[in-house]
Structure 1
C-alpha cells in the first residue's frame, strides 16, 4: 500500500514537472515569436525609410538634371541673330554692325568694351552686376552673354554696343554708348528701349 502511494506521489510530481517545462517552452516560443515580429517590423520600417530617402534623392537629381539640360542658345540661334542684325540694321540705317566675342578685344569699333566684360566690370542701370560669356545661355553670373554687336558710324561720337544676354533664362538686350573709361572702371549699360530688337532676340531664344 505504501509502495502504491509512493508511486502515485512520484507520478504526480513528474506530471507537475512536465507541465511546468511545457508551459515554459510555450512562453519562450511566444516571446521568440513576438521578438521575431518586432525585429521584422523594425527591419521593414528601416527598409521603407531607406527606400523613401533613395526615391527622394533620385527625384531631386532628376529635377536638377532637367534644369541643367535646358539649352537657351546654340550655334544655329547665333546664325539666326546674325541674319536678324543685317535686316534690322538696314531698317535702322546702321548697316555696319560688327559681331564681337570674348577674344575680339580691340577689334573694329571696340574701345575696351570686351575687356570690361572679360574682367567682369559691367553695370546695369548703374548697378554693378556679374557677367560671363556662355555658349548655351547657362551659367552662374547675373547675366550670361551669348553674343554682342557694335556699330560706330563714321564721325559719330559714341558707338552703339549691344549685349545679347540671358538673365535667369529670360532674353535681355543690354545697350551701351560709352566711348571712354571712367573712375569706377565699369561699362555702363541698360536694357534697350528698342522693342523690335528686344522682341527679335527673344523670339530667337525661344525658337527651336
Structure 2
C-alpha cells in the first residue's frame, strides 16, 4: 500500500515523516505516540494486543505487516487507545503526524481511494475476530485463522502465522498454549498441517476446506 500511495503523488504525506526501526522483541509505538502520529508499516511484523491485568491472559487484536496503517481508530475518533505493541521481528515504520493524515482524508480523494478500503478491511478483521471468539471452539478458530492466512501465491505457505510460537497463536485465537498445542497436533494428525522447527505449513488445502464446511 505504501508504494502505491507514493506512486499516487501525495507529497504532503511524506514531507513530514520519520523512519523508525524497532528491534525484534522490543516495544513499538505507544498509545501516547498514536495520539500524535500515524504509522505506516514498511517491513517486519508488529503485534497489537490487550492483556487482562488480573489473569495475564492476552488477546492479539492485529498482526501488522508491510502495507498496514496504525492507529486508524485513534486517527478517526481522537481518543487514546489502550493496547500493547511488540515487534515480533525487526520492523521498519514511517511515522507521520496525525494532523497531516486528517488533512489528506478531508482534501485528497486519491488518498481516500486507498484509505477507506483499508479501513473497511480492518473493520472486517475485527468482525471476524468477534465471530470466532463468540461462535467457535479453539479447533475451529485455528482452522479459520489458517484459512485467512493461506498464501495462494506461494502454494501451501502461510502468511504472518507460519513462524509464530504456540503461545502467540494462542493469543490470536483467545486460548492458552496447552490447548493450542493439543489442537495443532490434531491438525497435524488429520493431514492439514506440517509442523517442523516452529514452522507451520499447510499440507492439504482440500482437507482444510473440508473441515471448514462443518
Q: Which TM-score bucket, shorter chain as reference?
A: under 0.3
Higher relative contact order (CA 8 A, sep 6+): 2
TM-score normalised by L of structure 1: 0.23
Which structure has the greater CA radius of gyration? 1
